[in-house]
Amino acid sequence: MTTVYFVRHAEPNYSNHDDELRELTEKGLEDRKLVTEYLSDKSIDIILSSPYKRAVDTIMDFAKYYNHTIETIYDFRERKVDSVWIEDFTTFCKNQWRDFNYKYTDGETLAEVQKRNITALNLVLEEYTAKNIVIGSHGTALCTIINYYDSKFVYEDFEKIRCLMPWIVKFTFEGKQLITMESINVFEG
């Protein structure tokens, strides 16, 4: 069995519009300790992450405490919305979840995000069989992975977790076959 803990980042500073360099807020820095606490007894073998700062920083507290390194994997990054900041994010999200091929001119579709995240996950499952793995992730990217394994996960489900940061989803695999998927709200722990 291979266990993968996808960790959605803690609260980011939305006033920073640079998607790759957006840092955590003070609350986010504090809340990442809940991730460290949850993962502390999970016998983690490897830590991977999206290269985006908020994803790396969310799992950095755990990595430092347990003397792990974090390997970044570009394909686990969040989806690109567009080259400019989108003010009406809710309408954009609804349109993307209704049509996985919907995108703005310079952005990505959810189908594209899902494909690259699942491809990256499959490579991880091949390389780290029977390991316990943490992957620093993002809300939309993670939700497209959930949707891949459970097509009933749709916009309304995404909306329920939209403000839940950090958030962990535990996946258990036999080879590349999903056995279980469990949502973990670290605030209830």
What are the tens digits of pLDDT across the range 125-184?
Answer: 999 999 999 999 999 999 999 999 999 999 999 999 989 999 999 999 999 999 999 999
pLDDT number for residue 85: 72
pLDDT at 147: 98
The predicted pLDDT at position 189 comes to 64
Q: What percent of the chain has pLDDT over 90?
A: 87
Write down the domain spans for the chain. Answer: 8-188
Strand ranges (E), the chain: 2-8, 46-49, 70-72, 132-137, 167-174, 177-184
Name the average pLDDT for the chain.
Answer: 95
The pLDDT value given to residue 180: 98
Q: Which CATH architecture has domain 8-188?
A: 3-Layer(aba) Sandwich (3.40)
Strand partners, 36: none
The 10s digit of each residue's pLDDT in 80-129 is: 876 667 778 889 899 999 999 999 888 899 999 999 999 999 999 999 99
DSSP H helical segments within 82-173, as ranges?
Answer: 89-98, 110-127, 139-149, 155-161
